[in-house]
A = this chain, B = another copy of it.
Amino acid sequence: MKLTGKKVAILIAPRGTEDSEFTKPKQALEAAGASVTVVGLQKGRAQTVRNDLDPVAEYAVDKTITEVSARDFDALVIPGGSVGADKLRASPDTVSFVRAFFEQEKPVAAICHAPWVLAEADVIRGRDLTSYASIRTDLVNAGANWTDEEVVVDQGLVTSRSPDDLPAFNAKLVEEVAEGKHPEQAASV
């Protein structure tokens, strides 16, 4: 398997993470042989949504954000959902965790509203990316080069616009994790 031995963290908010943007990348990584750890803000189960608002399912949190370090992983995935991404960025521990992946030159993938967390971590100056269209202004104001494409790959940073882009997002995510460290990730920190 392409990603055998690779350890990947995927973030989840207590409520409001978009279900498909959590489950589909996780499945794609596991199908490629990676070990995926669900990292939450608190112990117990986290509730996902569809279309930002409608409850879908609950998932077990494997580790809380205070129990992990970026050093434990080879890559990071941040799912969207307006409320979920807003809650993730409001957690200073989470923002530090995200920033450490950039400092350690490791691949990071963010979809839909998740790039808000990258803006909060101040790691996107001069970087090419995309997102859900509504947050374009926030990302441009944070220094990013925003483009309207199903997936944008910039030296270990993988971004997409919405659940419709998941096939392209997952394919590039697996590629970037397989490649390993990308020195350019540290250049924008």
Stretch at the interface among A22-30, A136-144, A147-155: A136-144
Hey, which chain B residues are within 8 Å of A122, CB to CB? 137
Question: Is the CB–CB distance between B16 and A52 below 8 Å?
Answer: yes
Residues of A within 8 A of B (CB): 15-16, 49, 52-53, 55, 82-83, 86-87, 89-90, 113, 116, 119-120, 122, 133-135, 137-138, 141-142
Point out the residues of chain B lying under 8 angstroms from A120, CB to CB.
Answer: 137
| A119:B90 contact, CB within 8 angstroms | no
Q: Which residues of B contact A90 (CB under 8 A)?
A: 133-134
Nearest-neighbour CB distance to chain B for A89, whole angstroms, equals 6
Instruction: Considering the complex, give the chain B residue whose CB is closest to the CB of A140.
Output: B141
Considering residues A52, A87, A135, which has the most beta carbons from chain B within 10 angstroms of its beta carbon? A52
Contact at B83–A134, with CB atoms within 8 Å? no
Question: B141 contacts A119, CB within 8 Å?
Answer: yes
The smallest C-beta distance from A127 to any residue of chain B, in angstroms, reads 15
Residues of B within 8 A of A141 (CB): 119, 138, 141-142
CA distance A134 to B89 in the complex (A): 7
Across the A-B interface, the 4 shortest Cβ-Cβ residue pairs: A141-B141, A90-B134, A138-B138, A52-B83
Chain B residues near A134 (CB, 8 Å)?
A: 86-87, 89-90
**Least CB separation from A135: chain B residue:** B86
Instruction: Report how far A113 CA is from B89 CA in the complex, Å.
Output: 14
The 8 Å CB contact of A53, one of B15, B113, B142, is B15
In the assembled complex, the CB of A142 is this many whole angstroms from the nearest CB of chain B, namely: 5
Q: How far is the CA of A120 from the CA of B141 in the complex (A)?
A: 10
A16 touches B133 (CB 8 A): no
When C-beta atoms are compared, the residue in chain B nearest to A120 turns out to be B137
Q: Residue on B with the closest CB to A121?
A: B137
